[in-house]
Amino acid sequence: MIRSMTGFGRAQGPVKPGMTAEISARSVNHRFLDMTVKLRESEAPLEPVLRKAFSARVSRGKVEISLRVRRDMQSRSEVVLDEPLLGAAIGRIRAAAEKFSVEGRLEVRDLLAIPGALAVEDAAGELSPEETAAVEAIAVEAAAALVAMREAEGRTVASDMAARVSFLQGKSGELSSRREEVSARLLQNLRDRLSALVPDLPLDSSRLEQEAALAVDKTDVSEELSRLQGHLSSFQELLGSSGPVGKKLEFLTQEILRELNTLGSKARDLQLVRDVVEMKSETEKIREQVQNVE
């Protein structure tokens, strides 16, 4: 079944004792696959892991992925004091004070102002391969949830488009069955117009048939109807297929509109014109839906 490009997925789970990860993803329609990953700088090494998990399951759409890592109070962070740096700094300051006869007293805030003397570091450190694999498993679960929602919406979109394609096929069949009727009416209209213009002039039936044949040939839509029916059949087959078919459906929709425009330009029958207008309206609605198919 086809997929929509709109969806949302979320998953969470443990990474290691004291740490859990939550990954959420939302997607909307886009011409290509445009993936954005939002995470903290300390978790930047996990970005390729997330991209790999989602790109393997999503081929098109604008996808925004967010990673949130939670740690308990004991494992969140630790304060690191660079004692060798502070010792060296204090020694140099005291030596300078004695050399230049400067009196003063060092306070804690003076020491903390020394660049690099105090740092707050992530107590968890780098993740091990096993912990990275745990994050990847959560990402795969979130991607699967996103795909499931896209498939559910895809079923709704496919059902709507299938109904409209069936309508177009029915109308196309009606137009094909009315071709002879339209040709006969065109001949009769030509007779009536000539009779009205020159009522006393005897009509040459063979000449009239020849002119009628030329007029019918200019307005013949058999080739357009044949191509239209072929495009509609291909469209219907793609609706029942799996995988990314959005671009193919877009191309077929353009071709269907092209044939309908040609039908409308050739039409000399009022009912045919009305049918073509109605079919173009339905095709435009299909085109709106196709824009969101993966």
Mark out the alpha helices in the chain (DSSP H runs): 47-55, 83-99, 108-112, 129-177, 179-197, 205-218, 222-239, 246-266, 270-290
Confidence at residue 63, expressed as pLDDT on a 0 to 100 scale: 97
Furthest-apart CA atoms within the chain: distance in Å: 134
Confidence at residue 266, expressed as pLDDT on a 0 to 100 scale: 77
Residue ranges matching CATH 3.30.230.70 in the chain: 7-72+128-149
Residue ranges matching CATH 1.20.140 in the chain: 151-290
Confidence at residue 125, expressed as pLDDT on a 0 to 100 scale: 58
Read off the DSSP letter of residue 45. G
Distance, CA of 254 to chain centre: 18
Tokens of 226: 């044949």
Confidence at residue 118, expressed as pLDDT on a 0 to 100 scale: 73
Confidence at residue 157, expressed as pLDDT on a 0 to 100 scale: 94
- The 33-38 sheet, strands edge to edge: 7-16, 19-28, 61-71, 33-38
Task: Indicate the residue type of 160.
Answer: D
Instruction: Report the alpha-carbon distance of residue 148 to residue 151 in Å, rounded.
Output: 5
Confidence at residue 78, expressed as pLDDT on a 0 to 100 scale: 60
Confidence at residue 251, expressed as pLDDT on a 0 to 100 scale: 96
Tokens of 130: 């096993």
Q: Which fold has domain 151-290?
A: Butyryl-CoA Dehydrogenase, subunit A; domain 3 (1.20.140)
Average pLDDT per block of 10 residues along the chain, 294 residues long:
93 92 96 94 91 95 94 63 82 82 76 74 70 95 97 94 95 80 63 62 60 59 87 94 90 95 80 90 95 94
What CATH code would you report for 7-72+128-149?
3.30.230.70
Confidence at residue 184, expressed as pLDDT on a 0 to 100 scale: 63
Confidence at residue 292, expressed as pLDDT on a 0 to 100 scale: 94
Confidence at residue 206, expressed as pLDDT on a 0 to 100 scale: 63
Confidence at residue 42, expressed as pLDDT on a 0 to 100 scale: 80
Tokens of 172: 């196309």
pTM greater than the 0.85 cutoff: no
